[in-house]
Every structure is written in structure tokens, then in C-alpha cells.
Structure 1
Amino acid sequence: MDAHDSGLLAGARSAATRLPAQDLGRARCFYSEKLGLEPVDERPGGLLYRCGDSEFALFQSAGASPGTFTQMGWQVDDIEAVVSELGRRGVVFETVDLPGLRTQNGIADIEGNYPSKGARGERGAWFRDSEGNMLGIGQPVT
């Protein structure tokens, strides 16, 4: 019996993201000063954050993130306002210029979305945290 057949993880209480940080103090400052997030809990070598009903953790790591793909994202109601405010706080957004995916003022219009989300597309923006982790912001287009 494989995990898919048995639904081992389908009944899990939640799923969470873990992001590496070579310098946990520097990461804590970035998440606080740039993103306005404070940890809800901490342990030696780790910081736990909550946003809505999800959580993510930063953990002390000697390894570095490649930052070549989105590792975590937030869904927001007004991506233009969020991108504008984060930019004001010093967050630098990625410029993307690929066939079918191009950012304009830091935001890309993405055709298609998961049918279960009830949207026809999404608007997205990406940036790296102080540790090189690629983070995304998305807003469904209905």
C-alpha cells in the first residue's frame, strides 16, 4: 500500500513551510522590518510565524537556499497595495520576462488557476528574503 492509496497525509492537521536561514538574527530583522511579521514562538535555532491559519518556520542552517523557485507564498486581497507598501519598506521585487510571464511594476498577470479556487487567473509578485529564499504574493483574479 502506498501513501496515496492509504491517505496517510491527506488527513494531516496541517502543512507548513520551513525556510533555511544562515543568519537567524538577520532573517528575524527582515521579517519584522520589511514584512511586519513577528515570531509567535521560538526555540534554539528556529522561529515560528503564523499568518491566518498557516504557519512557517525559519531554521538556522549552514546551507543556502538557491532562490531559483518560489518556496512560499501568501494570498492577498490587494496585491498592488501590498507590493507598494513592501516596496516602500525596501523589499525589492523580481523582474520576470519570460514567454507568457512578464512583470510590470513588479506584478505579473498569470493566466489560469486551479479550478477548486474558483478564479480564472492570478496576479503574482516575487521577492527574496535576507537569506535568499524566493517568496511570492498572489491575488486570485475572479
Structure 2
Amino acid sequence: MFGQTKAYSGFSVDDIPAAKAFYTRTLGLDVGEEYGMLQLRIAGGNPVLVYPKDDHVPAAYTTLNFPVDDIAAAARELAERGVTFERYGDRHDELGVVRGDGPPIAWFKDPAGNVLSIVEE
């Protein structure tokens, strides 16, 4: 039934202007705005919808993963832009990157508290 549908994902935030500033200025994404919602225009063609929610509760899981070629370089650049990486347990390096069982990954949050990541591919 949905095999040919170009599905897209979405998540909520509590402050659209703050989210727009973060996704455009800090992460450097192409962000559209329509009907009070944002569309994160990412590679691959399908946007990610970011919508306002008055009783927003940050996602306790990773809502969006950004594949990178060099995670150390990406982590340094994000840190220079003011991003603080989350530290889950004690398996992260000085940049906040976890290396081990899976691909190298580092988690951070958007202004609404949603968890995002950079992951080396």
C-alpha cells in the first residue's frame, strides 16, 4: 500500500524560531518554513518536518542522525559552533565520540532537547 510513497519523518519542538536558528546557523541546513512548521531539506530528497507543540517533551531517543566522513572533524566544527556533546557512560573520547561496538557516534541536543547525532560512515 505504501511501497511507492515518499514518506518523511517529523518531530516536535517548543520554539520554532529557536529551532530554525539552530538548524540553519549551527548545523548549516537548508530550512524552509510554511504553516508555522519547518522543513529540514536534507540530502536524499525527503524533508524532515519540525512542528511546534505546546506541551513538547524532548525525545529520549535519537530523532535524527547525520552521517559524516570524519567524525572527529565534524565534532570539532560543531563544538566551535557552540554544540555540547552528550556523555552517556564512560566510553566517549575527549571530543564526546563513542567508539566501540558500532560505528563512531556522538550525540547532542537541539534547543528543544531532542537528541541528534553525528555518525561516521
What TM-score comes out, normalization by structure 2 length?
0.87
1:24-66 Cα offsets, whole Å, 9 max, x none, are 0111111122111231x32122111122104212111112233
- The alignment partner of 1:59 has SS state of strand
Q: Output the amino acid matched with 1:47.
A: L
Which of 1 and 2 has greater Rg?
Answer: 1
- The alignment partner of 2:22 has SS state of helix
- Runs of at least 5 residues in structure 2 that lack an aligned partner in the other structure: none
Give the whole-Å Cα distance in 2 for the aligned partners of 1:108 and 1:24. Answer: 30
Say which of 6, 24, 41 aligns to 1:50: 41
- The alignment partner of 2:30 has SS state of coil
Are 1:68 and 2:60 an aligned pair? yes
Cα pair distance change 1:44/1:66, threshold 3 Å: same
The percentage of counterpart residues that share the same residue type is 32
- The alignment partner of 1:86 has SS state of helix
Q: Which residue of 1 aligns with 2:116?
A: 135
Higher share in strand: 1
Q: Output the amino acid matched with 1:131.
A: A
- Runs of at least 5 residues in structure 1 that lack an aligned partner in the other structure: 1-7, 112-120
Give the whole-Å Cα distance in 1 for the aligned partners of 2:68 and 2:57. Answer: 25
Q: CA RMSD in A?
A: 1.7
Q: Which residue of 1 aligns with 2:77?
A: 85
Are 1:18 and 2:13 an aligned pair? no
Cα pair distance change 1:38/1:52, threshold 3 Å: closer
What is the Cα deviation at residue 122 of structure 1?
A: 0.5
Give the whole-Å Cα distance in 1 for the aligned partners of 2:99 and 2:47. Answer: 27
Aligned length: 119
What TM-score comes out, normalization by structure 1 length?
0.75
Q: Which residue of 1 aligns with 2:51?
A: 59
Moved more, 45-54 or 20-29: 45-54
User: Which consecutive segments of 4 or more residues in structure 1 shift more than 4 A?
Assistant: none
The question of whether the paired residues in 2 share the 8 Å contact of 1:107 and 1:124 is answered with yes
Moved more, 16-25 or 62-71: 62-71
Q: Output the amino acid matched with 1:88.
A: E
